[in-house]
Amino acid sequence: MEKKYFVEKGAMVKFRNGADFCIGTGRMGLALQREYYEQLKLVQDEIGFSYIRGHGLFCDDMAIYQYRKGWKDGKVTVEYNFTYLDRVMDMYQELHIRPFLELGFMPKMMASGEQSVFYWKGNVTPPKDYSAWIALVQATLRHLIKRYGRKEVLTWPIEVWNEPNLTSFWKDADMKEYFKLYKVTAQAVKAVDEGLKVGGPAICGVDDENWLRSFLKFVKSNNAPLDFVTRHHYTSYMPQWDGHYGYINLHEPEYAFSQLERSREIVDSFPEFEGMDIHITEFNTSYIPQCPIHDTNLNAAYVAHMLSRLGDKHASYSYWTFGDVFEENGVAFTPFSGGFGLVANGLIKKPTYWTFAFFKKLKGDCVHRSEEAVVVRKPGDEYRGLVWNADGRNTGEELDFTIALPVKKGVPYCLLVKTVDEECCNPLKVWHDLGEPANPSKKELELIKESAKPLLTTTRFEEGTGLVSVSLHLKKNALQYFELIPAAITGDTGYSYERTLQQVIEDPIEE
Amino acid sequence: MEKKYFVEKGAMVKFRNGADFCIGTGRMGLALQREYYEQLKLVQDEIGFSYIRGHGLFCDDMAIYQYRKGWKDGKVTVEYNFTYLDRVMDMYQELHIRPFLELGFMPKMMASGEQSVFYWKGNVTPPKDYSAWIALVQATLRHLIKRYGRKEVLTWPIEVWNEPNLTSFWKDADMKEYFKLYKVTAQAVKAVDEGLKVGGPAICGVDDENWLRSFLKFVKSNNAPLDFVTRHHYTSYMPQWDGHYGYINLHEPEYAFSQLERSREIVDSFPEFEGMDIHITEFNTSYIPQCPIHDTNLNAAYVAHMLSRLGDKHASYSYWTFGDVFEENGVAFTPFSGGFGLVANGLIKKPTYWTFAFFKKLKGDCVHRSEEAVVVRKPGDEYRGLVWNADGRNTGEELDFTIALPVKKGVPYCLLVKTVDEECCNPLKVWHDLGEPANPSKKELELIKESAKPLLTTTRFEEGTGLVSVSLHLKKNALQYFELIPAAITGDTGYSYERTLQQVIEDPIEE
Amino acid sequence: MEKKYFVEKGAMVKFRNGADFCIGTGRMGLALQREYYEQLKLVQDEIGFSYIRGHGLFCDDMAIYQYRKGWKDGKVTVEYNFTYLDRVMDMYQELHIRPFLELGFMPKMMASGEQSVFYWKGNVTPPKDYSAWIALVQATLRHLIKRYGRKEVLTWPIEVWNEPNLTSFWKDADMKEYFKLYKVTAQAVKAVDEGLKVGGPAICGVDDENWLRSFLKFVKSNNAPLDFVTRHHYTSYMPQWDGHYGYINLHEPEYAFSQLERSREIVDSFPEFEGMDIHITEFNTSYIPQCPIHDTNLNAAYVAHMLSRLGDKHASYSYWTFGDVFEENGVAFTPFSGGFGLVANGLIKKPTYWTFAFFKKLKGDCVHRSEEAVVVRKPGDEYRGLVWNADGRNTGEELDFTIALPVKKGVPYCLLVKTVDEECCNPLKVWHDLGEPANPSKKELELIKESAKPLLTTTRFEEGTGLVSVSLHLKKNALQYFELIPAAITGDTGYSYERTLQQVIEDPIEE
Amino acid sequence: MEKKYFVEKGAMVKFRNGADFCIGTGRMGLALQREYYEQLKLVQDEIGFSYIRGHGLFCDDMAIYQYRKGWKDGKVTVEYNFTYLDRVMDMYQELHIRPFLELGFMPKMMASGEQSVFYWKGNVTPPKDYSAWIALVQATLRHLIKRYGRKEVLTWPIEVWNEPNLTSFWKDADMKEYFKLYKVTAQAVKAVDEGLKVGGPAICGVDDENWLRSFLKFVKSNNAPLDFVTRHHYTSYMPQWDGHYGYINLHEPEYAFSQLERSREIVDSFPEFEGMDIHITEFNTSYIPQCPIHDTNLNAAYVAHMLSRLGDKHASYSYWTFGDVFEENGVAFTPFSGGFGLVANGLIKKPTYWTFAFFKKLKGDCVHRSEEAVVVRKPGDEYRGLVWNADGRNTGEELDFTIALPVKKGVPYCLLVKTVDEECCNPLKVWHDLGEPANPSKKELELIKESAKPLLTTTRFEEGTGLVSVSLHLKKNALQYFELIPAAITGDTGYSYERTLQQVIEDPIEE
């Protein structure tokens, strides 16, 4: 496939880059783990997300909600233990990431039923006593404000529950009960501090018509607080399962984007809510954590396309998840078990990691956006771009991408290209070729990680004609990030690169 | 060019790998610098040389030899200050490297003349008083033994002076005076401890017939101690200078090797010295520290060839030098100023760094050695090999190298290849393309370093026929290091790599 | 109290120092946590235990034992997942500590009942199918041998279950069932590799007569494998509870030691087992993890006394535990919650940490052992000693300890003393004085840690008479570690310490 | 001695704390060393000075000013090599410290004579060609602006030369020649950028009347640029020398302060310069780098007094120096060789280090300043104070210091005290007691460093009467830093510190 573009001087194209706003995570209890910390640190050091969102704040392994029986009177007292919560939040602060708080699931001692979700058994039943729930929510928020300061905590959005429109996440997907939960919770939040921001309904991305519209009607008629709307977005068809794994096909991109349109329309159809922020608090290709697609270069290229568009109508979109410390369907048997993460266990950067690392750098004035590329201009007539070739049909078709960019006249330029494709940055393949070791040895792990880096190449444009034509050749499922930067030779006295290359081996001579 | 080889089961080929025995360094005073430490740490972490040798132990910046004038009587006393020496030796111990001690040059206060060598003005005249020299040598050795222990210091070889056969390094290249220096020094060393090992004459690699033979005769007739013989070895023709730089051509390899033969013959011609260790205490391609060849991929490939042969007749051969903290001809103006180092300033690994890193791994039974490759077998029918394509004539000729290796029957294998060539691991080119910045910015430095890593690829051999044919394609001036390792698929339940790759984008369907 | 001792030249006193052999730990699942890792690293960096022992290898959070239901046939298959086990063992290897493996508790899916122990609900019922248990044990051991090497794993002792003589740890404390478990497990272990070492019965330190004797009889008559005997040892009376905490009194030391005698006698009464190693696989003062005694200086001094004696008749004794990442009775509300650890949460070294750090250094020939001190001689007439003043009656009585030690004649000595007492190294007090913060702020934590270091002082003995009289003054509950080392002044030219101190402020003078 | 003070509610006392503004350093060439970096890092991590000032920018070891002879024509060209300068400045940026640039000394190739100062031979003669000097200054500043940005470099003050009023620092202390140098240099600086700040005359603190007045007259009449005035300040009498060391007595403090008054008066006597900033670009007790006073606790206490007053009339005062990587009188033979540094070689914090570390924390509203203390109030009725007892007469007199501070009523407080005195934080004594080792072993160094930390103790004030009386007892030459902070007990359920301490050893009882 061949694509050619020409950018006019001063061109400006609409593009909102929110790729580094929020990222998903395994349940909060896992944030105590060392591997979790190291994966998140890896991600933050290079990409640096602003927010992190996941489940499990109130689950029992966080140990916040406690019953204590008196030694003498046997009287039961409720206590809040913030030891682990503080440990997690301290770590987030250390890594310069803020929580996008999801309130849930239900502490067992407070739950009205036994139903649970996931391998780790998050209780998904309503509270048996809403006042206990309110007390828990408020005690937690007050504690956070005391420890981290009001100013800081006011920047932490608060979402009520997760995917209540699915029976697996909320008993019977009982809409009325959720609305009740939402209302009392949102009011409880605002009672702690009017400045706190609260939202919902965190629905899985179906049922907009029913759930989202009803939710907004409820909020409106009950005058419940609502600062933002949340939903999720996955773009794959149903998996076919074999053993531990589910294999999927991906939605055709336009079809995928179209599925999001409806939410925006519904929200905007309420004058009260028109233009209100919609946060996609989860998105990914497949919605199952054992889907091998997540580890592939195709995933990286496909997600690049998503990131080029999702900011158009959504305040944020949180890739689910930063890493593979994750136990929703149990503990992974291998490092490439199709987990959601940008990083595989063992601190291996997957191809999609680079999608985010590259988007992170696409800040500036957008001069080009197409189905396979985004290019921005930086001050000083520099450019940065990302090109992708999501070979979704597995045809092996390669992409020849050319874009002519207006630059400073008379100035030589350097084109810097970082390539991530199935040949040069494909840790999954190396792991496979090594025999798919369940727990790679230290040496194997180092090899896999060594293979998980983009290939960097450079070219010079000496002419200085005021136009540089950047030509990139992308193999299937490749990403190519480029920078075009002014690079006049400062040349040290007597140094000649050409002459350097002309030093050769010579047969014996008389000296 | 095409090369095909077949290795028989149980084959054994002679090859002694001493590539990691000793490495050269800038003068000892520079070892106090932070950049020096970090470059040496980098080298030691991955390659781990056993010894380090350089000049300047007794130069004034090490501040060992001190005169003090009494406040009242004005009487002058000699003092030894080991503050810096200990700081350097402590650092070497920390980095698990031992000094190959070179005794020299002359402290100014002890020198008989003013003549000096290098930008940093090492005094190269004989002592005005040999007893002061002896006292200095002995005090230094006794101090080292006290601080680091006799057992440790006995493992540190001691070489007397440097290249006394050149007028620039020893006043008038006065042979008689050097022999005197050698004798009194060697005797002084042995007087400290008979177990200490001492050698010379550290000649620049010419004049064997004259200098080496005369030296051995002198040692023999004077019954002077001698534990080993030392000489140097550079393999380039005279440089052509332009500004700060000298451009050279390289000796044809066989010619270069032949120049070393004579030293071995001369030594062996003395029954008393037959078979005595010869240490090449310096070697490199060019002998000037501003020769752009050192920074090239050609240098890496050419040196690979040298490392495959130098161990045949020499106890050791010390590449001159590990890093570019070096001031012999002044302070480098840029990071790629043609310094001797494996590492350029800014902690950039040059291509030749990888030659040593790869040779480091070639431990095992050698099964193949040719003009372009060395292959060794490890326990368990694994192989490691290094192949190089020193395109000395700059013709761009590529190399197709094939070698058939006997392996375990019925076992699939993984072939792992690390490539260093002008396209994928050539920091010099990236620096040039960025405009040859004299002092790269932090960002530029990161890019250059990012480009200075081998490209890793893998392939599987599933058949298990008992023979694997490794085929490598090397571009000009390429190095390819490979490992061939057994890699049966351990395969997790339901995991299929093929199926993983078949997940595709699908048009909208009814689910 | 005043104590005076005189050590004769060449004196030798019996003392076996096994303080650094083994250390206890919270359940294995907690070893995944970052705080656990950092606490263990702290301990290993300074003390360096050889082994670590704790519960929970087979508990469900380690996720080893898995059931999988086929997607189509619904058939259930047993699978073993070693992802977490390897992660923990890799970390132990990284920190140079080996597991003292305790086989237990029961995976839920394999258990015959529901009974559990601890907040974290370790199942304590026998397997419903012993063959499944055997398969699990063997698969685990075979996996470990494959990953870490036979030679390594053969050094890992294996203990069958924990405290089966208590109903809380083994259903009904059913002796017959435990013997069955022991026998099949020990045989299963040996079937994997005869070289593996297996032992039991890991009893809580009561019921020797009944349990230990019966166990040995059983082993003997059943010819079951047995390589060593294990038991536990706590030295406090029953706690009095208030809220989260239990307060205790300590056993008088001689009474405490006497309780251990019986085990040795019972073992030795069997000719087959005479002299067999007894490992105290757990010991501490109080046996509850919320006992404030653990955080005190009294605990440090009392444990010093224990460490001076426990090696007499026991192969090892494992302090329960290295750190406070521990959840047996729930998650601690504060850093000083009376946990067992040498290190409190937040990486605070408790006084007892220093007891172990000091004992670590008491290697050499013992020249003195008494109720309040151990002193050893090192080569070169150096000494190291530890003195304690366990003010068990809270009378505030101080200890004046004097010991005359024979040293090199004519050589000045330096006495170096490190003091840990309630005034100079008492982080509990600092935390209390700061208001007992549940989760200390970063600043508070730094202050607490700053206070948790011994006070170091030095004195010189210039005379060189061949005898140094070391006089130490210990406040209540103090530890004093000392070193007596030769220290001749090497004196730089013109340097005078006395004159240095005589430099004073002077009124204006004419210069 | 007893001192009692009472602070009224709302009290405010004048005190300007500039202790952390600027610090001195050994010559710039030494900044390339690893030990230099690590010492500066230590200082910056805890104290964090804003600026650093020292000599040697243009000395030959910085290698900035270069002559190159053409290979063919033999023509000499001047070149500027900024390799080392950038390496040093990059390191300063990394450590968040800015240069206070001192322009000097003279590159040998540019000098009009041979006269030099120091062991490292800084040339102190005027340029043989002022235009070459101007070119060097301007090229250097332009380079710095290009690399570090104009905005940044404009914050770097520029001082012309060092102590020209001494014959050792400026040939013949030729005033007229210095004024010429000043004028052309200041004009050259402004010609690069009007925003750059330039000053002088950097005189050693004598000859005010002559030098300072003449300088200001010259500047005024010549209309030379002048943004600030600089001078130095040392407070000791002439040393008495013995071997390597000079012993001194200190100026009585009031006498010392009085010597500074004159500079302020002279500056203010010129209407044009009234109120102009005076920077004391060097100060210390003794002005020789081998004066044992620098390593003592007396120095720490005496300097505390200086820091409490120097800000009254001076814009800044730069302690000479941060560390002991320093070669003015040669290389130190031992770590306690009386160097100027806050940190001794081997990364040992001297007592005076703590004076600066404590002053760093004295930010807030001053409520008390006396001859022995400074106390400031922080928001929330917290206090911080520093008390010193400079026992200048060596009488051993101790200080009882009491200060009553108004606090929040009803709130308990915690008093936190950090003590540095001759007993608890005196590394010099520990080093001496260990035998004054010239180059301490690793173990000795660790002991010395372990001894170089303040002793931290805490006390509670439970009453809450609205007034806390802080009573401190200072041994001779002690520093005591304190914080008084609200500390209500948050008390966990059932936790009692008193009861914790009442757990005792009990004789055997029936349980």
Report whether pLDDT(B510) > 70: no
Catalytic one of B102, B282, B328, B422: B282
Backbone angles phi, psi at D435, to 5 degrees: 105, 15
pLDDT (tens digit per residue) in A115-160: 999 999 999 999 999 999 999 999 999 999 999 999 999 999 999 9
Which residues of chain A approach chain D closer than 8 Å at the C-beta?
68, 77, 79, 493
H or E element at residue A131: helix A130-148
The counts of H helices and E strands in chain D are 12, 28
DSSP, res B209? I
- Cα distance between residue B252 and residue B273, in whole Å: 30
Residues of B in contact with C79 (CB under 8 A): 493
Per-residue pLDDT, B74: 87
Q: Catalytic residue at C163? A: yes
Q: What is the 3-state secondary structure (H, E, C) of C81-102?
A: CCHHHHHHHHHHHHCCCEECEE
Is residue A229 within 8 Å of residue A212, measured between CB atoms? yes
Average pLDDT across chain B, whole number = 96
Question: From CA D476, how far away is CA C141, in angstroms rounded?
Answer: 65
Q: A72 pLDDT band (50/70/90 cuts)?
A: confident
Could you say which of C102, C163, C328, C372 is catalytic? C163
CATH superfamily of D22-360: Glycosidases (3.20.20.80)
**Predicted confidence band of residue D403 (pLDDT cuts 50, 70, 90):** very high
Q: What pLDDT does residue A154 have? A: 98
CATH-assigned architecture of domain C2-11+365-486: Sandwich (2.60)
Residue listed under structure tokens 């220096």: B181
Picking from B32, B330, B439, the nearest residue to D86 by CB comes out as: B439
Best mutation target, A432, A448, A462, A485, to test chain B (most B CBs within 10 A):
A432
Give CA–CA dist B347/B331, Å, rounded.
Answer: 16
Which of A122-131, B208-217, D444-453 bottoms out in mean pLDDT, i.e. has the lowest?
B208-217
Burial of B399 (0-12, 13-18, 19+ CB in 10 A): buried
Contact B312, B263 (CB under 8 A): no
- Cα A396 from Cα D427, distance rounded (Å): 70
pLDDT in tens, chain C (511 residues): 899 999 999 999 999 999 999 999 999 999 999 999 999 999 999 999 999 999 999 999 999 999 988 888 889 999 999 999 999 999 999 999 999 999 999 999 999 999 999 999 999 999 999 999 999 999 999 999 999 999 999 999 999 999 999 999 999 999 999 999 999 999 999 999 999 999 999 999 777 789 999 999 999 999 999 999 999 999 999 999 999 999 999 999 999 999 888 899 999 999 999 999 999 999 999 999 999 999 999 999 999 999 999 999 999 999 999 999 999 999 999 999 999 999 999 999 999 999 999 999 999 999 999 999 999 999 999 999 999 999 878 888 999 999 999 999 999 999 999 999 999 999 999 999 999 999 999 999 999 999 999 999 999 999 888 999 999 999 999 999 999 999 999 889 999 999 999 999 998 876 5
pLDDT score of B207: 75
Beta strands (DSSP E) in B62-136 are 65-69, 76-80, 98-99, 101-103, 116-117, 122-123
Size of interface A-D (CB pairs under 8 A): 5
The single residue listed with the structure tokens 């004594």 is D429
- Kindly determine whether residue C63 and residue A331, on different chains, have CB atoms separated by under 8 Å: yes
Angle between helix D175-192 and helix D130-148 axes, rounded to 10 deg: 40
- Write out chain B residues lying below 8 Å of D332, CB-based: 83
Q: Which chains border C (3 or more CB–CB pairs < 8 Å)? A: A, B, D
For A210-224, what is each residue's pLDDT tens digit? 999 999 999 999 999
Looking at every residue in chain D, the average pLDDT score rounds to: 96
- Region D219-242: what's the mean pLDDT? 96
Residues of A annotated as catalytic (active site), given as ranges: 163, 282
How many angstroms separate the Cα of B357 from the Cα of each of A450, B38, B490?
15, 17, 30
Report d(CA B346, CA B334) in Å as an integer: 10
Identify which of D68, D79, D493 has the shortest CB distance to residue A68: D493
Residue in D with minimal Cα distance to A69: D493
| CA dist., res. C237 & res. C255, Å (int) | 12
Closest chain C CA to residue A441: C147
List chain D domain ranges: 2-11+365-486, 22-360
Tokens of C131: 């063959």
Q: What percent of chain B has pLDDT over 70?
A: 100
Which tokens hold the place of C75?
């058939």
Residue of B450, B492, B493 for testing the chain A interface, max A β-carbons within 10 Å: B492
| Neighbouring-strand partners of residue A384 | A376, A483
Give A-chain residues touching D79 at CB under 8 angstroms. 493
Is residue D145 predicted with pLDDT exceeding 80? yes
Q: How far is C437 from chain B (nearest CA, A)?
A: 42
Q: Rounded to 5 degrees, what are φ and ψ at B89?
A: -65, -40
How many Cβ atoms from other residues are within 10 Å of residue D28's Cβ?
A: 25
Hey, what are B171's tokens? 């006043």
Which residues of chain A lie closer than 8 angstroms to B497, CB-CB? 428, 432, 436
Who among D392, D394, D432 is closest to C497 (CB)? D432
Q: Which has the closest alpha carbon to B242: A503, A462, A463, A460?
A: A503
- What one-letter code names the amino acid at D23? I
Q: Cis before residue C235, ω within 30 degrees of 0?
A: no
Q: Do B243 and D68 touch (CB under 8 A)?
A: yes
Residue B85 clears pLDDT 80, i.e. is over it: yes
Cβ of B505 and A250 within 8 Å? yes
**Which among A255, A262, A310, A338 has a CA at the least distance from the CA of B506?**
A255
Contact criterion met (CB below 8 Å) for C389 and C474? yes
The token duo for B423 is: 């396209």
Please check the confidence at residue B433 and state whether its pLDDT lies above 90.
Answer: yes
B154: Cα within 13 Å, side-chain hemisphere: 6
Min CA distance, B453 vs chain A (Å)? Answer: 9
Phi, psi of C67 (to 5 degrees): -105, 135
> Could you tell me the maximum CA-CA distance found in chain A, to the nearest angstrom?
106
The answer to whether B259 touches B297, Cβ cutoff 8 Å, is no
Amino acid D86: pLDDT: 98
Residue among D180, D196, D192 nearest D228 (CA): D196
Is B511's pLDDT higher than 60? no
The Cα of A255 is separated from the nearest Cα of chain C by a number of Å equal to 30
Q: What's the CA gap between D301 and D475, in Å, rounded?
A: 11
Q: Which two tokens stand for residue B179?
A: 């022999």
| Chain Cα centroid distance, residue C128 | 34
Q: Nearest residue on chain D to C248, judged by CA atoms?
A: D503
pLDDT tens by residue, A497-508: 999 999 999 988
Give pLDDT, residue C510.
62
Whether B2-11+365-486 and B22-360 share one fold: the answer is no
For residue D78, give the chain A residue with the closest CA.
Answer: A493
**What residue of C is the nearest CA neighbor of B77?**
C493
Per the residue annotation, which of D79, D114, D152, D163 is the catalytic one? Answer: D163
Phi, psi dihedral angles at C258 (to 5 degrees): -65, -30
Q: In whole angstroms, how far apart are CA A497 and each of A476, A489, A494, B350, D27?
A: 34, 11, 10, 15, 36
Choose among D453, D493, D508: nearest Cβ to C243: D493
Task: Test A292 with B424 for CB contact under 8 angstroms.
Answer: no
Contact yes or no for B15/B413 (Cβ under 8 A): no
CA nearest to D360, candidates D52, D97, D50, D37 = D50
Report the 10 Å Cβ neighbour count for A397.
13
pLDDT of D510 over the 70 cut? no
Integer Cα distance of B98 and B197 in angstroms = 14
Q: What angle do CA A44, A50, A54 make, to 5 degrees?
A: 90
What is the 3-state secondary structure of C155-188?
CCCEEECCCCCCCCCCHHHCHHHHHHHHHHHHHH
Nearest in space to A23 (alpha carbons), one of A54, A64, A1: A54
B→D interface, C-beta within 8 Å: 32-37, 63, 66, 68, 71, 79, 81-84, 86-87, 90-91, 147, 241-244, 330-334, 345, 438-439, 441-442
C-alpha neighbours within 13 Å on the C-beta side of residue B97: 29
Min distance D56 CA to chain B CA atoms (Å): 16
Query: D260: Cβ–Cβ under 8 A, 6 or more apart, which residues?
Result: D205, D233, D280, D310, D313, D314
Q: What residues of chain B have any CB closer than 8 angstroms to a CB in chain C?
A: 68, 79, 493
Three-state DSSP state, B418: strand
Q: Which residue has the higher pLDDT, B207 or D176?
A: D176
| Residue listed under structure tokens 């003054």 | C473
- Select from A301, A250, A275 the least CA-distant residue to A426: A301
Instruction: Give pLDDT, residue D452.
Output: 98
Burial of B95 (0-12, 13-18, 19+ CB in 10 A): middle
Residue B73's alpha-carbon distances to B69, C335, C373, C491, D242, in angstroms, are: 8, 66, 55, 21, 12
CA contacts within 13 A on the Cβ side of A262: 16
Q: Which residue among B102, B163, B328, B422 is the active-site one?
A: B163
**Distance between first and last Cα of chain C:** 57
Are C19 and C363 contacting, i.e. CB atoms less than 8 angstroms apart? no
> Stretch A234-242: mean pLDDT, rounded?
95
Radius of gyration (C-alpha) of chain C in whole angstroms: 26
User: Could you identify the residue written with the tokens 């202390």?
Assistant: D173
Are residues D87 and B35, on separate chains, in Cβ contact within 8 Å?
yes
Give me the sheet containing C101-103, strands edge to edge: C98-99, C51-54, C22-25, C316-319, C278-284, C228-234, C198-203, C158-160, C101-103
CB C284 within 8 A of CB C293: no
Q: Cα angle vertex A184, ends A181, A188, to 5°?
A: 130
Closest alpha carbon within chain C to D489? C435
pLDDT value of residue B488? 94
